[in-house]
């Protein structure tokens, strides 16, 4: 099925190394997050990011994003984000739920990237009084919802505005691995060195089963994060099995290896798509112009993918679909 | 370690059959809960409970309890429960979080069992006006927080009051398997036939990795449950791995086999504890009078358990600790 | 000051008849809303609107809007509204607070009027799944944020879409009196007969001190409204003083008389503004093109008003500013 | 009616000086709380309390209590209070609503006074982990729900525990005037000098129409209070009319004069009640043993009051009921 499935990296299998790590963790240990694996995460990520990190495992990206944002804003404040950001359109209002009603304040952007100038304009439109919701955080997604990777300098431009206005900067990294694999920059360069305060580091789409990391850079995220996790029902009693997945993904940079494979698959498809591409392909998602008839022909040939509005489709590659795996689809598209 | 670990069934290993089910599920399938395993749960539980059930998998018991209760009450209403109920003292306020601020209204009870008469008295104390929070649901725990199993007639007495007052009845079944294994009644008899509207059916403590089932009896739980699950961040993108655990636990009644083993271990310990027992031992938890000195001696001998206030301890057996496994601790207690 | 103050109808004085009503109500009566004045509101509004109404007094429009909307939607649902609606930009997130986090989903509109076609398009963009917030209510403002009055047929076009999609329709009537005074239609025609489910009927801007009415058409609004009012801290213990203001405003149609006076003042100004008008003037607000220099000259002459972005100003007339009162400002504008 | 009405000080009339202040304030001024009266409150209370105060007017005590408490605790934290505190049993869960779900953690107490020792015991029972809600504030009521006045030393004993545990101390002063009138202490002595961080200072029951003050001692209460007030719908657009009431109550110590009158009425009744009194009478509430037959006889004679459970009644005197006014009831009780 790796040759025909392009509808979601959420549908991909779990990497064998993660499965092995689950088996290896299957012995008695302390409950919740008191176990050795959970306790090892701070050090592991501090090493990866070259700075002191506080890390909290969490089973889903929705929970990761919401808990970080609820930590950064009070209920009467706002969160600036791209107008089609995952937190805005695909999480059933989770950030409002976790924060007690904070407002998402949306911005346009090319390829789902917020622009620093647009951000300044948006901020200048907020009257500084109690009648208007005052923003307290910015959230950006890397890779973006349209598959683009943020460059450190772009993040820096956003964080400069954030700092000037006293806003926290969150990065939704559901596909952080794919973005870093593309730019080749150090994880530190596109996060805390560029001004990011906290990262939702996703592993599930990239080969894990249900494992994401909330990463606070530069010491502790402060009081409340672990309470929100418990209160939200995310403190699994056998939490070591989530930590084990993360450790497996970090070992020997499996997270990068997997992301590179998915990116390679996407790049191979991109080459076949040519002018059909709506955005540059930098990670593992392609947005492709496709008539209804063309889409039907590809589906008839067995390929599975999402329509993206009218006249377009989204193709997603996964860690188990490298350039070789996608060759049949690439050929089929080229032959349309 | 099975011979020495008695501090929590959350610390136990995952049953091999569950591990195998995870491996078997490790192929591509639809994301979230659209997969065949997730879709099979309604039928599987409907069969087990001999009535139409709507079932929603969820990774934790805290989330299961909170989502059911948030579904049954509005933010300005209340939930009646035992004064040391798990939802009251061990979930960091999760039911208040999910419900938008509903109030837990506590009751005393022997062995953590609410009494129908006390319930009536408590209800009679609520003025029917907008100044006082009006209860809309009752939550009971089976097995209780002190290890007792509810009999169908006892549940029926509670539900009779609930029906008369228009309250929904929820059962927190984190250790439902142990309770049913003890009484030997049909699962239906102690739930919907006795008036229970929804059950949090726990599998994690009983051999799964992170898998609980929200069970609504008699058709659909209604709109909102799946939205709350998503909004709470519990709709895992690879949800089939939670459903797979549940199917493994149901297969050949593994849930009952595991619970019987844990109960047998607890019964063997109970026999050794004699007058030390604070409550009858009906499930897999023992509350035992133990001086600080005695506790120290047991710990020195390698046994691990929680103190329960002063002069007492809690011992918990797990699915991998049958009567044989617990023999060393039984002997050590008898020798005190 | 009536000749120089144009910055807000919130700054106007309280009408003498309302002051007299407060004095007349100053005797002992039952607390909260059990008094005769509070109890008389259902009948008074049922008479005015020619249908059975359930009416709840409330001190502010923000609370009126929020309580109605929180009554119509669940926390995981959405509220469609104009992108600069008062509930979206001027209430510090109150609708999200009262509803437990419901999402405002904004739409463009000319003169702050939502368009039925744009509404259908917006609705068609919402995927019917648990990942996206599903709208459950529409809120429109009459008179709009830019001073336009809704015609019954326009409201009907919106409500037709609402009915087809199962959405409730709310009208924010902070300046309902001004709108009705302009169109001359029966209050019923532009509300329930056109499909409105509930109205926030404002009196404070129109001569009261702190008095608004939540009006549910066609019987009861249902359970929860009074609980939300109490829980929000709006059930004044001497509530009769709010009800008294409303009764004074209804008596001899004072609400219409006052609105007509304010509208006449606005119309007189409009005539003087000519091409400077950004929108037709239908109620008591004018949005006027004005250079910084012109604004400065008017202010130097003693007139007080808000700038509206750059190169424009907002002028608001009140019940105590009829066409005669505004003559000096009209002359000053004409002379610019 | 002043001779027969004893069911609530909420039912009393508004003092003439307050009515005059409303009339005097009835001219144009800035909207919301930008007016001179609102702006004068910080200085007025700073003078009264002999320290820098930040003061926010608010129409109800429920809102005052909730906003202060929501300011002191985060949603996952708790508020310690007496088990029959007004915030626990009479506000429809408002503190949970405003705080986003914080938990009220109740304590017993004699005459509704929390005891420092019981407080320490309760605190010692909370495990310091994320599973249990951690208290962050204590709320006491002065005068208490059973009409007792806190002495500065008693408040100091509570605040000593609060300081040691890092908890904020709130005083619900719905009848603060009556308590201070009884003890004769300086307002400062029983509040900030005794360790109180914020006070809900009630005026409505004591002769105002709808006016309470949120008082933060020792400078600013910090960010968020005014946002919560707006978000809760309590920032009246003609707010000067609330501020005017408060200024009238402070002028020439009208608040004390009124409270002394009500207390005198209560004392006169207390003398007539003798052994019937369930608690010492220190403010304006009496809890009196009264058989159903006796209650019926008093009601037949025209007196109005609440039953208090079975075999008891609550009598409340107001600012317009001094010892002379209550003579008929005193005589009637003596004659029972």
Q: How many Cβ atoms are within 10 Å of A51's Cβ, its own excluded?
A: 15
Report whether A249 contacts A18 (CB < 8 A): yes
What residue ranges define each of the domains in chain B, with the CATH number in brackets?
A: 16-252 (3.40.640.10), 254-334 (3.90.1150.10)
Across B228-242, D3-17, D129-143, D195-209, least confident range: D3-17
State the sign of the Cα–Cα–Cα–Cα dihedral A290, A295, A298, A302.
Answer: positive
Chain B residues near residue D133 by CB distance under 8 angstroms:
92-93
Residue keyed to tokens 């040759």: A3
Interface of D with B (CB under 8 A): 75-76, 78, 89-93, 96-97, 100-104, 130-133
Q: Tokens standing for C120?
A: 């259908």
What per-residue confidence (pLDDT) applies to B243?
Answer: 98
The residues of A whose Cβ lies within 8 A of any Cβ of D are: 74-77, 100-101, 130-131, 134, 224, 226-231, 235
Long-range pairs for A193-197 at CB < 8 Å and ≥24 separation? A193/A152, A194/A152, A194/A153, A194/A155, A194/A156, A194/A159, A195/A155, A195/A156, A195/A158, A195/A159, A195/A160, A195/A162, A195/A163, A195/A169, A196/A155, A196/A159, A196/A169, A196/A170, A196/A171, A197/A72, A197/A168, A197/A169, A197/A170
Whose structure tokens read 């939802």? Answer: B87
Query: Is residue D1 pLDDT above 70, yes or no?
Result: no
Residue D2 scores a pLDDT above 80:
no
- In DSSP terms, D286 is beta-bridged to D315
| Mean pLDDT over the full length of chain C | 96
- Beta-carbon separation of B19 and A26 below 8 A: yes
Contact residues for A26 (Cβ-Cβ < 8 A; gap 6+): A241, B13, B14, B19
Query: What is the distance between the alpha carbons of residues A178 and A175, in angstroms, rounded to a whole number?
Result: 5
- Can you give the pLDDT at residue A1? 62
Q: Say how many C-beta atoms besides its own lie within 10 A of residue D293's C-beta.
A: 8
Handedness of CA C135, C138, C139, C144 (dihedral sign): positive
Dihedral angle of Cα B223, B224, B227, B232, to the nearest 10 degrees = -160
First to last CA, chain C: 21
CA distance C187 to C171: 12
Report how far residue B239's alpha carbon sits from residue C75's, in angstroms, rounded to the nearest whole number: 24
Cβ distance B90 to D132 less than 8 Å, yes or no, reads: yes
What are the counts of helices (DSSP H) followed by strands (DSSP E) for chain C?
14, 10
For residue A290, count other CB atoms closer than 10 A to its CB.
23
CB-based contacts of B215, cutoff 8 Å, min separation 6: B45, B49, B53, B54, B55, B191, B198, B199, B200, B201
pLDDT of B322: 83
Which partners does chain D have (≥3 C-beta pairs < 8 Å)? A, B, C
User: B238 by DSSP, 3-state: which?
Assistant: coil
Sign of CA dihedral C279, C285, C286, C287: negative
The mean predicted confidence, pLDDT, of chain B is 96
The kind and range of the H/E element at C55 are: strand C53-58
Q: By CA distance, what is D90's nearest residue in B? A: B131
Length of chain C: 336
pLDDT at site A154: 98
Is residue D28 scored above 80 in pLDDT?
Answer: no
Mark yes or no for CB contact D93/B102 under 8 Å: yes
Q: Which of A77, A100, A226 sits opposite D100 (nearest CB)?
A: A100
Nearest CA in chain A to B98: A232
Q: Which residues of D touch B104 (CB under 8 A)?
A: 103
What does the H/E/C string look like for C247-314? HHHHHHHHHHHHHHHHHHHHHHHHHHHHHHECCCCCCCEEEEECCHHHHHHHHHCCCECEECCCCEEE
- For residue C223, the model assigns a pLDDT of 81
High-pLDDT (> 90) share of chain B, %:
91
Which of A197, A205, A161 shows the shortest CA–CA distance to A10? A205
Q: Which residues pair with D172 in a beta bridge?
A: D141, D200
Using the Cα atoms of residue A146, residue A150, residue A151 and residue A155 in order, give the sign of their dihedral.
Answer: positive
Ramachandran assignment for B270, one of left (phi > 0), alpha (psi -120 to 50 degrees), beta (any other): alpha
Q: At C312, phi and psi to the nearest 5?
A: -150, 165
Q: How far is the C-alpha of C215 from the C-alpha of C192, rounded, in Å?
A: 10
Chain D residues inside the 8 Å CB shell of C214 = none
Radius of gyration of chain B (CA): 20
Percent of chain D with pLDDT over 90: 91
Q: Categorize the per-residue pLDDT at B1 as very low, low, confident or very high, splitting at 50, 70 and 90.
A: low
H-only helix segments in chain B: 16-24, 36-39, 41-49, 61-72, 86-89, 94-99, 116-124, 152-165, 176-183, 225-231, 240-250, 254-273, 292-300, 327-334
For residues D282 and D112, the answer to whether their CB atoms sit within 8 Å is no
- Calpha distance A34→C168 (Å, rounded): 48
CA contacts within 13 A on the Cβ side of C9:
32
pLDDT reading at B328 higher than 80 = yes
Top pLDDT among B119 and C218 is at: B119
According to the model, what pLDDT value does residue B98 have? 98
> What percentage of chain B reaches a pLDDT higher than 70?
100
pLDDT number for residue B324 = 86
CB contact under 8 A, A76 and D224: yes
Are residues B227 and C130, on separate chains, in Cβ contact within 8 Å? yes
pLDDT tens digits, residue range B152-198?
Answer: 999 999 999 999 999 999 999 999 999 999 999 999 999 999 999 99
Best mutation target among C71, C76, C222, C229 (most B Cβ atoms within 10 Å) is: C76
Tell me the C-alpha distance between A308 and A290, whole Å: 9
Question: Could you tell me if residue A302 is left (phi over 0), alpha (psi between -120 and 50 degrees) or otherwise beta?
Answer: left
Q: Which residue has the tokens 């009999």?
A: B151
Q: State whether C131 and B75 contact (CB < 8 Å).
A: no
pLDDT at residue C221 greater than cutoff 80: no
Q: What is the pLDDT of residue A81?
A: 98
pLDDT of residue B70: 97
pLDDT of residue B304: 94
Q: How far apart are CA B107 and CA B79, in angstroms?
A: 11
Say if pTM beats, i.e. exceeds, 0.95.
yes
Give the closest residue to B305 by CA, choosing from B323, B322, B287. Answer: B287
Contact C93 A100 (CB under 8 A): no
Closest residue, chain B, to C226 (C-alpha): B130
Residues in chain B: 336
* DSSP annotation string for C146-201: TSPPPPHHHHHHHHHHHHHHT-EEEEEETTHHHHHHHH---TTTTTGGGT--EEEE
Which residues, given as ranges, of chain A have pLDDT below 70?
1
Q: To probe the interface with C, which of B130, B133, B236 has the most C CB atoms within 10 Å?
A: B130
Per-residue confidence at D323, pLDDT binned at 50, 70, 90? Answer: confident
Burial class (CB in 10 A: 0-12, 13-18, 19+), C257: middle
Q: Could you report the per-residue pLDDT of D215-247, keeping only the tens digit for each?
A: 999 877 778 999 999 999 999 999 999 999 999
- Grouping H, G, I as helix, E, B as strand and the rest as coil, residue B295 is helix
Structure tokens at A131: 């009648």
The phi and psi torsions of B319 (rounded to 5 degrees) equal -60, -20
More confident residue, D187 or C325: D187
Of A210, A227, A238, the CB nearest to B10: A238
Reduced DSSP (H G I as helix, E B as strand, rest coil) percent helix, strand, coil of chain C, to 5: 45, 20, 40
Q: Residue A286: what pLDDT?
A: 97
For residues D251 and D30, what is the distance between their CA atoms, to the nearest angstrom? Answer: 23
pLDDT at C31: 85
Q: What are phi and psi of B159, to 5 degrees?
A: -70, -25
Chain mean position to CA D152? 16
Q: Which two tokens stand for residue B76?
A: 């300005």
* Pairwise CA distance, residues B154 & B164, whole Å: 16
């Amino acid at each position: 099925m790796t040759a025909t499935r392009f509808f979601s990296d959420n549908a991909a299998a779990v990497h064998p190394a993660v499965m092995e790590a689950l088996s290896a963790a299957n012995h008695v240990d302390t409950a919740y997050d008191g176990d050795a694996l959970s306790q090892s995460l701070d050090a592991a990520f501090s090493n990866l990011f070259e700075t002191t990190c506080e890390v909290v495992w969490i089973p889903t990206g929705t929970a990761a994003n919401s808990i970080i944002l609820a930590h950064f804003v009070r209920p009467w404040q706002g969160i600036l984000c791209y107008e089609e950001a995952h937190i805005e359109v695909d999480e059933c209002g989770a950030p409002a739920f976790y924060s007690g009603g904070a407002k998402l304040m949306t911005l346009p952007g090319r390829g789902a990237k917020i622009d620093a100038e647009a951000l300044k304009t948006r901020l200048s439109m907020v009257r500084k009084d109690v009648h208007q919701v005052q923003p307290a955080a910015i959230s950006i997604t890397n890779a973006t919802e349209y598959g683009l990777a943020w460059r450190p300098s772009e993040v820096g431009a956003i964080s400069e505005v954030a700092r000037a206005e006293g806003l926290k900067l969150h990065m939704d990294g559901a596909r952080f691995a794919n973005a870093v694999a593309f730019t080749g920059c150090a994880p530190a360069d596109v996060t805390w060195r560029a001004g990011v305060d906290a990262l939702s580091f996703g592993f599930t789409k990239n080969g894990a089963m249900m494992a994401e990391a909330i990463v606070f850079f530069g010491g502790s995220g402060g009081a409340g994060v672990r309470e929100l996790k418990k209160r939200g029902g995310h403190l699994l009693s056998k939490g070591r099995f989530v930590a084990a997945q993360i450790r497996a993904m970090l070992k020997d940079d499996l997270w990068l290896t997997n992301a590179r494979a998915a990116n390679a698959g996407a790049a191979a498809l991109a080459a076949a798509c040519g002018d059909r591409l709506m955005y540059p392909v930098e990670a593992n998602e392609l947005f492709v112009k496709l008539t209804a008839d063309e889409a039907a022909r590809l589906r008839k040939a067995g390929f599975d993918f999402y329509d993206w509005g009218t006249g377009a489709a989204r193709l997603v590659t996964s860690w188990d679909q490298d350039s070789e795996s996608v060759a049949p689809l690439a050929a089929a598209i080229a032959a349309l």
